[in-house]
Amino acid sequence: MAFQFIDEYERQFRWLLTRYPTKQACLLPALRLVEAQQGFIDDAAKKYVAGRLDLAPAFVHGVFTFYSHYRRPGDGKHVVMVCMTLPCALRGAGAILAAFEEHIGIRCGQTSSDGLFSLRKVECLGSCSTAPVAQIDDDYFENLTPEKVRDIVLALKNGMTPPHLSNGPTPNGGCRCFKPLVEACPEGSGAR
């Protein structure tokens, strides 16, 4: 299916074009806008963004695959990323991963058959002094224990806001990308 920005993201995209000296520089944030709009980045969206930025679709694909944090089309509704790097590992990240596997009912690297969860190991999430840590979608969960993992998974399975969120739920129902800044500074930055 063809992809196209809806008005809200079209406005942000056009604003981004005014903030950098080249069109190409908008690539990483533009892919984030795609993610915000439809939840994942597929080939149609890559082709669309390539066209808007005067880039080859293959180039956009090459950049996209370099980065691990973008959401892919087959990802579950909730992507669970468990940090396994040393500071978390020292504080029992292995048991946290095992608890996620047990309560979701899938192995690391899999997506549940109902499409609700994807579970993966990731490298350092940058929250080492509150280890062990996991990120679920946009949110961080710190100082985890297997019991907390059980509560979090149960809440998500029931469509509720999970407990033990470290910074509270993402404000305003998910990432608003550049919206407040576009409103505060609608004019370009003179970079182009």
CB of 2 vs other proteins, minimal distance in Å: 23
CB of 3 vs other proteins, minimal distance in Å: 18
5 or 64: CB nearest other proteins? 64
Distance CA 16, CA 92 (A): 42
Among 94, 102, 154, 161, binds other proteins (CB under 8 A): 94
User: Which parts of 2-41 interact with other proteins (CB under 8 A)?
Assistant: 19-22, 24-29, 31-32
CB of 157 vs other proteins, minimal distance in Å: 22
Alpha carbon distance, N-terminus to C-terminus of the chain: 32
68 or 158: CB nearest other proteins? 68
Among 110, 130, 146, 164, binds other proteins (CB under 8 A): 130
Distance CA 110, CA 114 (A): 12
Q: Which residues bind other proteins (CB under 8 A)?
A: 19-22, 24-29, 31-32, 53, 55, 62-63, 66-70, 81, 84-87, 89-92, 94-95, 122-131, 135, 138-140, 167, 170-171, 175-181, 183-185, 187, 189-191
